[in-house]
Amino acid sequence: MKITLLGTGDAVGTPKLGCSCPACMDAHAGGKSRRLRFSILVESDDGRLLIDTSPDLRWQLLKKGISRVDGVIWTHPHYDHYAGFGDFYRVQNEVNVYGLTRTLDYITNYLSFMKPRRHDVNLYEPFELIGLGLTLLEVTHPPIEEPAGVLLTFGEKKIVITGDTTRDIPRKSLSLMFRPDLLIADAIIPPRGTIPKHMNAREAMDLASELQAKTVVLTHMSHNFPPHDESIRQWPLGYDGMEFEF
């Protein structure tokens, strides 16, 4: 199994339009601070799965040489997590999409012209795709009523993707997240600030410690971090195209 971070940026990406901060200037120069919006590609011997469909999805798939997937999981109905699904138009018909009912209601209404094959999933009820075990976990991302993280299992391996969330994750979810081989954690800003609906880097690292994660990588990051090569001296920031193999 291989996991690729297709996009590690927040809703506006880095560089941010009109910004000349150090991270944005590094991004303009081609550094690892350049961050497309959030998407994750999961590959197994049985197929390919996308977790969220970034507005930058077309470019992300072109870089990977991919034109077809076996399924899409949407964690919540925020624009930066689903809007790129339209890039399958005239490429792949009747894509299988999975998510919580309210999430699918919203997104499939917006993207009704795509006619995706809808599969409603309940929180904490495991299902299987491309030979992998998957479970959607409740997290906290106001004002979204039903945001989800993703638990992915492959044999004895456990991967947790927090999705967009605050540090206030329900205890039931935390118990299922415990001791992951890889934790991919939302961390939108450095520890000097807070944003009510996301974790900062300190909170994400505190979560990793509580969960006893073997490996942690931070994602969904804004341009408020220092340039990537400077930031990784303090925090395990991911970058676009980063891969993990199991």
**pLDDT less than 50: residues of the chain:** none
For residues 66 and 95, the answer to whether their CB atoms sit within 8 Å is: no
**Nearest Cα residue to 228 out of 218, 241, 239, 220:** 239
Question: Residue 168, CB half-sphere, CA atoms under 13 Å: how many?
Answer: 6
Check residue 118 and give its pLDDT. Answer: 96
Check residue 62 and give its pLDDT. Answer: 95
Tokens 């939108």, residue? 188
**Domains with residue ranges and CATH for the chain:** 2-245 (3.60.15.10)
Check residue 194 and give its pLDDT. Answer: 81
Size (the chain), residues: 246
Check residue 196 and give its pLDDT. Answer: 87
The set of residues, in sequence order, having a beta carbon less than 8 Å from that of 196 and lying 6+ positions away, is: 142, 166
Q: Give the burial string for 6-18 (b: 16+ CB within 10 Å, else e).
A: bbbbbeebbbbee
Alpha helices in 160-200 (DSSP H): 171-177
Check residue 193 and give its pLDDT. Answer: 77
For residues 89 and 62, the answer to whether their CB atoms sit within 8 Å is: no
Tell me the per-residue pLDDT of 111-162, one tens digit each, with 9 for 90 and over. 888 889 999 999 999 999 999 999 999 999 999 989 999 999 999 999 999 9
